[in-house]
Amino acid sequence: MKGESPEAKPMTSDDVLKHSTSDNIHPAFAYAARKFKALPSAPSRPEFGEAGAVASDNWNAVVEEYIADGHASDAQDIRVAAQVSADGGPRYRRCQSASCGNVEDAPGQYRVCGACKTTFYCSTACQTTAWKQGHKTACKHGATLQLLPSHETFMTVHKMMARMRYLGALSTASMLQEAWGNRS
Ligand SMILES: [Zn+2]
Ligand SMILES: [Zn+2]
């Protein structure tokens, strides 16, 4: 451990998932994250530039695997909760009018705000409502692309862990674990 920087060992999806529950990260999302042995990409990362379509296709195929493995009755709910599109956002977008909560039946169904190109609505009515309720301001100041709730949690936990690791909390814990393991 001496001389090794705290970031020397890259964090894996397993590390992140250990600190999450099925309440905040959907089991299908966790399944795909484990299978990829890498962190799912966030929008604006280079992976979701040109390679985004390939990356999301691969990710979604793993989610289909999860569905085929005994979860067929919830297939569509699982796709909505865990599949991604080429830009890193959900494959099935949620309407972003605060009072709505509709989700696309098919990818690409909802209209996107023409100005920011990051905010999705199920109808003109929802778009008008959201505009009045504050999107007018958010739109101008750079609205961020919607993410799957699981993806958002994953990234939050990941950031928290990176910070903890930086502060030495995790290396202390793993050193203790190693010490105890060596005794048995
Ligand atoms: Zn709506
Ligand atoms: Zn907008």
Token pair 């990941």 in the structure block, residue: 158
Q: Which ligand is nearest to the CA of 123?
A: 1
Dihedral of alpha carbons 154, 157, 162, 165, sign: negative
Which of these, 77, 43, 36, 80, lies nearest to 59 by C-alpha position? 36
Q: What is the full per-residue pLDDT of the chain (184 aa) written as tens digits?
A: 444 555 556 777 888 888 777 778 999 999 998 887 655 555 544 444 556 777 888 899 999 999 999 999 999 999 999 999 888 889 999 999 998 999 999 999 999 999 998 899 999 999 999 999 999 999 998 778 889 999 988 888 888 888 877 777 666 667 667 666 655 4
Q: Which ligand is nearest to the CA of 116?
A: 2
What separation in Å is there between the alpha carbon of 81 and the centre of ligand 2?
A: 24
What separation in Å is there between the alpha carbon of 101 and the centre of ligand 2?
A: 18
Angle (deg, nearest 10), helices 27-36 and 149-167: 60
The pairs formed by 116-120 with CB atoms below 8 angstroms and a separation of 24 or more are: 116/142, 116/143, 118/143, 118/144, 118/145, 118/146, 119/143, 119/146, 120/93, 120/94, 120/95, 120/96, 120/146
Q: What φ, ψ does residue 112 adopt, rounded to 5°?
A: -105, 145
Count CA atoms within 13 Å of residue 114 on its CB side: 2
The predicted model scores a pTM of 0.78
What separation in Å is there between the alpha carbon of 115 and the centre of ligand 1?
A: 18
What separation in Å is there between the alpha carbon of 148 and the centre of ligand 1?
A: 17
What separation in Å is there between the alpha carbon of 102 and the centre of ligand 1?
A: 6
